[in-house]
Chain A
Amino acid sequence: MISYPENDAQVIEVVRGARAEHRALGIFGAGTRTARDPDDDSASVSSCQIRGIVDYEPAEMVMTVKSGTPVAEVEAALAANRQMMAFEPMDHRGIMATSGEPTIGGVFAANVSGPRRFTAGAARDSLLGIRFVNGQGQVIRAGGRVMKNVTGLDLVKLLAGSQGTLGFITEVTFRVLPVPPAIETIVISGLDDLAATKAMAAAMALSVEVSGAAHLPASVIGRFLNGDLPKGEATVMRLEGLAASVSVRAAKLAETMEAFGPVSRLGAYESCVLWREIRDVHPFADGSKRPLWRVSVAPSVGHQLVAALRLEACIDAFFDWQGGLVWMRMEADPKAELLRRHIRAIGGGHATLVRATDEVRALTPAFEPLPDGVAALSARVKQKLDPAGIFSPGKMG
């Protein structure tokens, strides 16, 4: 059973009803990011009918939106004022083979970010304020609409990325940034994963403000720009800003990168397409349900993780965030234990099973299991927001 409340009062009613009847309640937007758990026959509540831009002051670079508003509507309103969400949220429809319109509430509830995350911050860093209904059916506002705010506990960060397990977000207020007038991409060809990692670290040590750094191994290269990237591996670095800045910085970056390998450049149009494809994990938008992992580790060791796993499993992978975000597709078995053991061995991080068949999902914890102390603390925190444990119990550890 899915309910579609249209306002705070109706959300409260749904939550209080579930609480009174001790029913679990799944919260989602348009459901484009997660396939529903096959064993989950619990009631769900969707934000899709709570929509509309509440307030948008382009000169203040702040927007307030109801949570069920389609991301496309938000992006269109921003684009009309040459502004954007700096964290460039990815669109999961390609890899998940889902349809529908992703919602802005879903973006923040799952803390969805794209390639610019490693320099511009995650969705949670842009999120200034929220309004949500907690497990007791109370409306809670947290944060506000100003950029600097340290008044009380930061429940905004806590709710961002809580995957609908702590409350039903009905409204979000976030910071936006101007769309950079110029964009260019430097491509270094033929680097192996280790050399690419070194090149990206060298680029990030330069004062050129790289806003995207990804490494695309040979196995995935054909899936970008219709196969138009130079042959072999491609290590790509994005520069954005005022036209004069980008041209100065591109020259400086290209000069440094020539020491690593042959350098070519992509103009604005191809850059926009390429970084969108990286953002949306285009190589693995293959219509399959083969297990797909999203792994976050320290940038310098992402390549080690992949190298170690290749010895023991059949995987395909590419790197974003200077090497620290690894998108990894397994052939059949998700190899969760193996993957998580290797992550611990290289100094820690986390792996999320983004996609898999229903059978695999039923057997594999999607989120990284937490150490005991943190797990106990997290459970206590959940209990304080959702005392009856109605919001997707068990979903996040």
Chain B
Amino acid sequence: MVEICESSGDHGIASGYELRVLKQPGFNMNSIKFLPPRDSVLSRREEIISQLKAMLPRGSLVHEPRELVPFETDAFVSYKQMPLAVVLPENTAQVAAIMSFCYRNSIPVVPRGAGTSLCGGAIPQPDAIVVGLSKMNVVLDVDYENRAAVVQAGVTNLRISEHVGADGFFYAPDPSSQLACTIGGNIGMNSGGAHCLKYGVTTNNLLGVKMVLIDGTIIELGGKHLDAAGYDLLGLVCGSEGQLGIITEATVRLIATPEGCRPVLFGFETSEEAGACVSEIIASGIIPVAIEFMDKQAIEICEAFAGAGYPLDVGALLIVEIEGSDPEMDDMLSRIVDIAGRNSVKTVRASQTATEAALIWKGRKSAFGATGRIADYICMDGTVPLSKLPYVLSKIAEIIDRFGLRVANVFHAGDGNMHPLILFNANDPEDAAKAEEAGNEILKLCVDVGGCLTGEHGVGIEKRDLMRHQYSDDELNQQMAVRSAFDAEWLLNPSKVFPLEGRAI
């Protein structure tokens, strides 16, 4: 049993659980708790800092409160906490030395890539050392014969594709934050993206890692060969949210860039028609690279922001992306248009130029940012079976109505991964509480129809306390036991993923 820290009060340098919702900071939100900080660590703060200083090169340690501010939260900005210190190692050996030090001194460790987690996966705590991988940003090896790249964990997602693009290759997973997010973070969260309908998510594109365990042991899993020699620890580590170790290098799959690609817009009167069209496309044997869905609210927000030319007189929009050579795309497109026609499509618009194509995607990929300009929002990430999409959409509308809120739905329709954005006013504590409550109801709904709490954003702190809705006690205990095999004392990112109460440590 763990004592839950109730107050948002002062823990040394910690600022507690202050809400900083996008535009209006100041409102305290503290419904999600962190583990209480260890006095044994806080009381030794100065000593710990001086020991870290002795271990690391100049410029690799951040400990002044003012300089720690950028590390107090991630993209789940509703919560923030100051860490004890931040270290920015330059190589695997330094990571190992830090881990070994923290292990010997029982200091919690919070790994951090670019801090773009949407579920609070990188939010620190007052007694934790943040290990930031941003300085480890070297592409170590590009090997086209084996279609693999070996990169340090701090290399950004997009940079891999940029690095190999001129030679006709790319790295497939493309989370919306790909400009900033790191491959280490992607592996930690098993990130997806719009194009994983065809290419899969991070775990399907990861060949190997070098990682440091909590006691400082360096291990390598996988490599340029396929499949594991023993247990699939690589598969277990991917998506483990920084609870099993710190990844310092990754070997990822490169894929030959398709000859061309074409996003096509399909506008429908209703979400039901759009949903039926998605099912029929999938069932027909065509696997587009991506099928993205936006409802009326989302269309309006994104169009106002990006001017992508989305039709405004429709109730639902699909972006279907196909790829291949021109004759192939013409063939596929004519089949998809037929299917859309059978589902009462109102508008069909294929991009004619690369600029138009980019604009169509810009609108979709800026959905979160564009929404943030008009209101505060929280973003859900549940996945549901495809056949349940229309039902879930209507239930979401019901829930949102009941709470008197607004919602914009954008999601990866091809794989049932929903992203309802619940709009609210962060200046109004009641409104904020309602949004959180509505969000929880929506996620439970996703689980109840046979889906899951999170498709690609991760559990972090955000969905941690809903885990018991998806898993039985035995199931959670089994996951926690496996976690303990890597980190018996639960020093790694300890406030995340598993409910704080009833932990089997």
Q: Please give the residue numbers on chain A whose beta carbons come within 8 Å of chain B beta carbons, in ascending order.
A: 57-62, 82, 111, 113, 117-118, 121-122, 124-125, 134, 138-142, 144-158, 160-162, 166, 177-181, 197, 201, 204-208, 241-242, 244-245, 248-249, 252, 296-300, 321, 324-325, 347-350, 367-368, 370-371, 373-375, 377-378, 380-385, 396-397
B50 in contact (CB, < 8 A): no
What sequence of 0s and 1s flags, for each residue 245-274 of chain B, a beta carbon within 8 Å of any chain A beta carbon?
A: 000000000001111000000000000000
Known: A205-B256, A242-B328, A380-B485. A148 touches B416 (CB 8 A): yes
Closest Cβ neighbor of B327 among chain A residues: A248
Contacts of B143 in A (CB 8 A): 298, 300
Q: Which of A149, A161, A252, A325 contacts B452 (CB 8 A)?
A: A149
18 A-B pairs besides A142-B475, A384-B484 with CB distance below 8 A are A59-B279, A139-B474, A146-B383, A148-B192, A148-B383, A158-B231, A207-B256, A248-B324, A296-B225, A297-B225, A298-B146, A298-B225, A299-B146, A347-B223, A371-B219, A374-B221, A375-B230, A377-B233
B322-342, CB under 8 A of A: which get 1 and which 0? 001101100110010000000
In the complex, how many residue pairs between chain A and chain B have their CB atoms under 8 Å apart?
271
A171 to chain B, nearest CB (A): 14
Q: How far, in whole Å, are A82 and B331 apart by their CA atoms in the complex?
A: 20
Q: Is B24 an interface residue (CB 8 A)?
A: no
- Contact for B450 among A145, A380, A384, CB less than 8 A: A145
C-alpha gap A156/B236 in the complex (Å):
8
Residue B40, interface by CB 8 Å: no
> Could you tell me the distance between the alpha carbons of A325 and B282 in the complex, rounded to whole angstroms?
32
B residues apposed to A, CB below 8 Å: 143-148, 168-169, 189-190, 192, 196, 200-201, 203-204, 213, 217-221, 223-236, 238-240, 243, 256-259, 279-280, 282-287, 324-325, 327-328, 331-332, 335, 383-387, 412, 415-417, 450-459, 463, 467, 470-472, 474-476, 478-479, 481-486, 497-498
- With a cutoff of 8 Å between Cβ atoms, the chain B residues found around residue A197 in the complex are 145
Verify A61–B282 contact, CB threshold 8 A: yes
Q: Distance (Å) between the CB of B100 and the closest chain A CB?
A: 13
Q: Which residues of B contact A180 (CB under 8 A)?
A: 285
The answer to whether B231 and A242 have CB atoms under 8 Å apart is no
Q: What residues of chain A lie closer than 8 Å to B455, measured between beta carbons?
A: 146, 148-150
B contact residues around A161 at 8 Å (CB): 227-228, 231-232
B227 touches A147 (CB 8 A): no
Contacts of A147 in B (CB 8 A): 383, 415-417
Instruction: Name B285's contact: one of A82, A160, A324 (CB within 8 Å).
Output: A82
Q: Is the CB of A367 within 8 A of B256?
A: no
Contacting residues, chain A, for B335 (C-beta < 8 A): 242
Docked Cα-Cα span, A178 to B225, in Å, equals 27
Closest to B330 in A: A244
Across the A-B interface, give the 10 residue pairs with the lowest CB-CB distance, nearest first: A157-B235, A178-B285, A148-B455, A298-B224, A350-B229, A380-B485, A368-B229, A349-B225, A244-B331, A300-B145
What chain A residues lie within 8 Å of B417 (beta carbons)? Answer: 146-148
Question: Known contacts being A59-B387, A62-B385, A248-B328, is A154 close to B190, with CB within 8 Å?
Answer: yes
Per the bound structure, the CA–CA distance linking A139 and B328 in Å amounts to 47
For B145, B257, B455, B470, the residue with the greatest tally of chain A CB atoms inside 10 Å of its CB is B145
Instruction: Check if B233 sits within 8 Å of A378, measured CB to CB.
Output: yes
Cβ–Cβ contact B383 & A149, under 8 A: yes
29 contacts between A and B (CB under 8 A): A57-B387, A60-B282, A60-B385, A141-B472, A144-B452, A146-B452, A146-B455, A150-B458, A150-B459, A151-B459, A152-B459, A152-B471, A152-B476, A155-B482, A162-B231, A162-B232, A166-B231, A178-B284, A205-B256, A245-B324, A299-B224, A321-B226, A347-B223, A350-B225, A367-B229, A374-B219, A381-B482, A381-B485, A385-B478
Question: Given contacts A242-B331, A349-B225, A350-B225, is CB(A201)–CB(B452) below 8 Å?
Answer: no
Give chain A residues whose Cβ lies under 8 Å from the Cβ of B416: 146-148
CB <8 Å contact, B233 and A118 = no
Contact A377 B386, beta carbon cutoff 8 Å: no
Assess whether B232 is in contact with A385, with CB atoms less than 8 Å apart: no
If A59-B282, A299-B145, A350-B229 touch, whether A154 touches B223 (CB-CB below 8 Å) is no
- The answer for the CA separation of A158 and B463 in the assembled complex, in Å, is 23
Supposing A118-B226, A145-B450, A204-B256 touch, asked if A157 and B236 sit within 8 A by C-beta, the answer is yes
- Name A59's closest neighbour in chain B (CB-CB): B283
B232 touches A158 (CB 8 A): yes
Q: Could you tell me the distance between the alpha carbons of A348 and B224 in the complex, rounded to whole angstroms?
A: 8
* Contact for A60 among B145, B228, B386, CB less than 8 A: B386
